[in-house]
Structure 1
Amino acid sequence: MAGDDVLSDGSEGGRPDEPRERFEDVDWDAIDADGRRLTNTGLAAVAAGIGYALALAYDLAVAGGDPTLDAAVDVPWRSAPATVVWDATAVDWLFAATLLAGGFALVPLARNRRLRGYYWRRFRRHTPAVIGLWYLLAIFLLGTVGTLFIDQPSLNLAATYQPPIFASVDASIPAECVGPVVDGRCHGTWKYPLGTTGEGKGLLALAIFGMRVSMQVGLIATSLSIAIATLVGTTAAYAGGWVDEALMRYVDVQQTFPTFFLFLFLAYLYGGSLFVLVVIFGVTGWGGIARIVRSEALQRREELYVEAARASGASGLSIVRRHVVPNVSNSIVTAATLNIPFLVLSEAALSFIGLGDVTLPSWGQTIAAGRGDLATAWWISTVPGLFLFATILAFNFLGDALRDALDPRQEV
């Protein structure tokens, strides 16, 4: 945007004889005042925030110990209405807030058809990333919407060690074969398409609930980290001096602090809840992103358009909000996308060693449940392990493709 001629009405281009406004003629007081007025998107965000606050108040004050949502919903492929039960937890409310904030953050890009088309053309050059994007969308929808329509897996000793639909095992392994028995071998059934665990829990349901846990951990913690990192990084870069020095030294201290022991301490006090895990990941994992933001913001601070805005009377907040943050957002998005798989893998590792939330099925927890049965029931650990591997790989592909699509320096 720096140095571009714009018409007096704010549009670009036009006939040569139309009056143009130069950058130094911009009335920054008027722009700042206009920025304080609520646009249609701002009004929608305020309305969504009010609705969110009312729903949260209802859950806390009215629903109490009852489910937040308990309703019958008509589903086309079912003869009877499905019962949707949602007993919202603190993590669910954080997840809802994250989705709302993320949705409104994408509105400017969604409304700009030219920029959206440009980024998409660059992104779709990476076929693995496109496939990974569709896979992650499926994981996201199954984890957020699908879990509303299915019950959390429960103990069923009559259906232990059932093989997947595409496999078979010796009939002596399951307590009672649910599928057909042919030549002394128990074959899988569509009732448990991915098989069951040693406790009779269906692996398909466990995998879907594991999707929800992984998406919540990755998206909520990353959103918290982005917010803190952007604030710290831009403040350090633009303020400079002792402010920059103090913030960066704090980042140094934080990155050397053993987060694992902090989680152990809080898990001892409050239990290994998912909420504690998400908050710890979010408030301690932003140091690396803050350094990236600061590095990019330092370069933007020296650009001519920032110097011109400062000389024309724009406030520091206006410069950071209108020029610095938008121009470092590409690096923020890329760093955040590559941070999500690390968080997903970290949650799975903690659940694998028994430090996760035992009340919620996660992929790491299911992998641990089947590690002693690899010789006879290999699918228990393999199925969630494949989902975990594919999710991390998809996020890595997505992050690499976004880096190439969003960074103009990658242009060839």
Structure 2
Amino acid sequence: MTSLDTDLSPAEPPRLVVFWRRYRRNRAALLGLVIFVIVVLMALTAGLVDPGDPLRRAGDPLTPPFVDWATPLGTDQLGRDVLSGVFYGARISLLIGVVATLVAIAIGVVIGALAGYFGGWVDDVLMRVTEAFQTIPNFVLLLTLVAILGSKIEWITLAIGIVSWTAPARMVRAEFMSLRGREFVDAARNLGVSNTAIIFKEILPNALPPIVVYASVIMALSILLESALAFLALGDPNYASWGNMIGQGRAVLRSAPYCAVIPGIAIVLTVLSFSLLGEGLNDALNPRQKKQ
């Protein structure tokens, strides 16, 4: 082959382009991305679309939707604007989902990496701790932590992250156990690279794809857990969240079902978007798995 032929050979597309080509093949994943973008835009424009305080009275109590265009989705039993609550609730739900997911992934990565890399007694101890957490249902443990820490949104978010780290830890451990014997790890050891550098710079980047996919599951579960707490009147009343709206709307469920149905639909669509995003990420990051 001449040098001219080499110069004319097509260059490989960037990884981001390849990722997007794989992702867009899944139409359901594209739908999930569209819904997720809409929810993000709602969170970002909450103060622009409806600058009013979602916790303050905006009209007569229990005004039905599409009756007063000042409150197009109606008002609840206290006269608060449902539309404003939905937009501001998107901001709270995404904040809880993202922060709780980061907490869960951080704890899971550290514990799973140490257990999978070192093995032996380190693995035994860390996995016994993981199993101890898994013996208690997540929601029961969450109720306990909220009862101890309090119902502020910061503590609720931290508590959700604490009860969600076990599955990522097991996934990271499995990935590390399969990667710690590879040639590139042995080469790093022979060069005198420290264990910390090997764990976080050599092995962890290769173990991240399944964790990135599972992060979408944790975000969806985080939103559902916060909503369940708020439904039981254990949420933070100082913030407008979809769970708080549903919990307060159950008192007028028969006379004004929209107070609970509208935020409920928002939760369902948001959780669905995360599920579809996870499916698309799995197809894009693990194309071989789809073919098998």
**Aligned mate of 2:240, from 353, 357, 361:** 361
- Equivalent residues of 2:108, 2:166 under 8 A apart: yes
Tell me which residue corresponds to 2:41: 141
Specify the SS of the correspondent of 1:159.
Answer: coil
1:237 correspondence with 2:116: yes
Q: Using the alignment, how far apart are the partners of 2:288 and 2:223 within structure 1?
A: 30
Comparing both chains, which one has the higher relative contact order based on Cα–Cα distances under 8 Å and sequence gaps of 6 or more?
A: 2
Structure 2 vs 1, CA of residues 406 and 308 (structure 1 numbering), >3 Å: closer, same or farther?
same
**Aligned mate of 1:161, from 62, 71, 74:** 62
AA aligned opposite 1:130: L
1:288 correspondence with 2:167: yes
Q: Normalization by structure 2: what TM-score?
A: 0.87
Structure 2 vs 1, CA of residues 410 and 258 (structure 1 numbering), >3 Å: closer, same or farther?
closer
Tell me which residue corresponds to 2:195: 316
Tell me which residue corresponds to 2:155: 276
AA aligned opposite 1:139: V
**Aligned positions of 1:338-377 closer than 5 A:** 338-377=217-256
Q: Using the alignment, how far apart are the partners of 1:303 and 1:352 within structure 2?
A: 49
**Aligned positions of 1:20-169 closer than 5 A:** 114-147=14-47, 150-156=51-57, 158-165=59-66
1:204 correspondence with 2:104: no
Q: Aligned residues, how many? A: 280
- In structure 2, runs of 5+ residues without a counterpart are 4-11
Q: Using the alignment, how far apart are the partners of 1:288 and 1:411 within structure 2?
A: 22
- Equivalent residues of 1:192, 1:204 under 8 A apart: yes
- In structure 1, runs of 5+ residues without a counterpart are 1-14, 16-111, 166-187
Which of the two has greater helix per residue?
A: 2
1:327 correspondence with 2:228: no
Q: Flag the structure with larger Rg.
A: 1
AA aligned opposite 1:191: A
Q: CA deviation at 1:294?
A: 0.5
Q: CA deviation at 1:264?
A: 4.3
Q: CA deviation at 1:243?
A: 0.9
AA aligned opposite 1:116: L
Structure 2 vs 1, CA of residues 113 and 233 (structure 1 numbering), >3 Å: closer, same or farther?
farther
Tell me which residue corresponds to 1:49: none
Structure 2 vs 1, CA of residues 200 and 123 (structure 1 numbering), >3 Å: closer, same or farther?
same
AA aligned opposite 1:150: P
Tell me which residue corresponds to 2:276: 397
Q: Using the alignment, how far apart are the partners of 2:213 and 2:146 within structure 1?
A: 31
Q: CA deviation at 1:270?
A: 5.3
**Aligned mate of 2:260, from 381, 384, 394:** 381
Q: Using the alignment, how far apart are the partners of 2:62 and 2:21 within structure 1?
A: 47
Q: Using the alignment, how far apart are the partners of 2:204 and 2:145 within structure 1?
A: 34
Deviation larger for 155-164 or 398-407? 155-164
Q: Normalization by structure 1: what TM-score?
A: 0.63
- Equivalent residues of 1:152, 1:209 under 8 A apart: no
Structure 2 vs 1, CA of residues 144 and 396 (structure 1 numbering), >3 Å: closer, same or farther?
same
**Aligned positions of 1:5-20 closer than 5 A:** none
Q: Using the alignment, how far apart are the partners of 2:58 and 2:94 within structure 1?
A: 30
- Equivalent residues of 2:111, 2:126 under 8 A apart: yes
Structure 2 vs 1, CA of residues 158 and 121 (structure 1 numbering), >3 Å: closer, same or farther?
closer
Q: CA deviation at 1:353?
A: 1.1
Q: CA deviation at 1:259?
A: 5.3
Q: CA RMSD in A?
A: 2.3
AA aligned opposite 1:410: Q
Q: CA deviation at 1:193?
A: 1.4
Q: Using the alignment, how far apart are the partners of 1:336 and 1:158 within structure 2?
A: 40
Q: CA deviation at 1:317?
A: 2.3
- Equivalent residues of 1:160, 1:196 under 8 A apart: yes
Deviation larger for 125-134 or 352-361? 125-134
Q: Using the alignment, how far apart are the partners of 1:390 and 1:294 within structure 2?
A: 32
Q: CA deviation at 1:373?
A: 2.8
AA aligned opposite 1:249: R
Q: Percent identity?
A: 35
Q: Using the alignment, how far apart are the partners of 2:52 and 2:13 within structure 1?
A: 41
**Aligned mate of 1:409, from 270, 288, 291:** 288
Q: Which runs of 4+ in 1 moved over 6 A?
A: none
- Equivalent residues of 2:145, 2:159 under 8 A apart: no
**Aligned positions of 1:213-232 closer than 5 A:** 213-232=92-111
Q: Using the alignment, how far apart are the partners of 2:44 and 2:148 within structure 1?
A: 29
